Amino acid sequence: MKHIYNKLVRDNIPVIISKDHKTAKIQILNDDDYLKYLKLKLIEESKEVNTSQNNVELKNELADILEVIEALLNFSQISLQDVLEIKEKKALKNGKFNNRIFLEQVEYTDE
């Protein structure tokens, strides 16, 4: 029996699979595919945050997201400090998410 995954996995997963007396078929991704699958992994992990049922699960999924973000930063040669500075500028201009504001609609008048 085999299970098809076709997704980016952490570096030690093939070893873990092997220790479980299973055989993993892997490939090393080129730069374009690596970036593509890192972005897809971020979406996958975000969906898992959305389905988390408690704080333990939430913490684990957020840790996975941080791991993917670090990989994206490293691969793209973007410093975390640069991203944090942009985050702070956006927070000063647009605010944060502390006040739980849910925008229902915006009405426009024809001018």
Indicate the length of the chain as a whole number: 111
Indicate the average pLDDT of the chain: 97
**Segment 21-47 mean pLDDT:** 98
pLDDT digits (tens, 9 = 90+) for 43-81: 999 999 999 999 999 999 999 999 999 999 999 999 999
| pTM assigned to the model | 0.89
pLDDT at 110: 83
- Interior angle at CA 90, CA 41 and CA 52, nearest 5: 35
Distance CA 2, CA 5 (A): 10
Give the type of residue at 54.
Answer: N
What is the 3-state composition of the chain as percent helix, strand, coil, each rounded to the nearest 5? 60, 0, 40
